[in-house]
Chain A
Amino acid sequence: EVQLVESGGGLVQPGGSLRLSCAASRFTFSSFAMSWVRQAPGKGLEWVSTITDSGGRTNFADSVQGRFSISRDNSKNTLYLQMNNLRADDTAIYYCAKGGWLGFFDPWGQGTLVTVSS
């Protein structure tokens, strides 16, 4: 069974930075696109970013374009989300998910909570 485990969340001040990681296992990580999706407290789902299997192409939501970057290390089976210039409205649970480029998000990790507050 595919396993995705996010880490790196926490409390950060507005304007600060944070890097999330997603450790993948039990599938051939280098063969699949990967994505980040977030959910603000009590709100719906918002797609954040997707990266292709090789890492050669990426896409971002307008709300994070220019502030967030996505990357992956296929030798470590790990996906990353670098978040800079964080704002209060970035507060959310951040989920990593397999897929999202040519397919849908399946499965999802358990999520990591990012809180942006002074």
Chain B
Amino acid sequence: EIVLTQSPATLSLSPGERATLSCRASQSVSSYLAWYQQKPGQAPRLLIYDASNRATGIPARFSGSGSGTDFTLTISSLEPEDFALYYCQQRSNWPRTFGQGTKVEIK
């Protein structure tokens, strides 16, 4: 099973600041990595797929990078609605696995 480790667990930032979230895989997942956003009481929403492609309707301030085992989600300038939980997920191997999540909270 591919283990995805996200860091940090919590990121405390102010609106307008840049957020950098990390996801590290226990073995290569090529570019088969996605990022999801989840707000309290809501289902997750796909943000980024195949490491660097924004999903439909996702603002340009969200960007993804990386390949192999190291990936980054960057939010260039935090908007109030961006404070949420973020998960990475791989589709390289079965079972599909998720990281444990990074919470982006208001400082």
Contact = CB atoms under 8 A, between A and B. Distances in A.
Given A44-B87, A104-B34, A106-B55, A59 B94 contact: yes
Interface in B19-73: 34, 36, 38, 43-46, 49, 55
Contacts of A95: 43-44
Interface residues of B, number: 20
A88 interface: no
| Residue with the highest number of chain B CB atoms closer than 10 Å, among A100, A103, A106 | A106
Contacts of A17: none
A50 B96 CA distance: 9
Contacts of B96: 35, 47, 50, 100
Interface of B: 34, 36, 38, 43-46, 49, 55, 87, 89, 91, 94-101
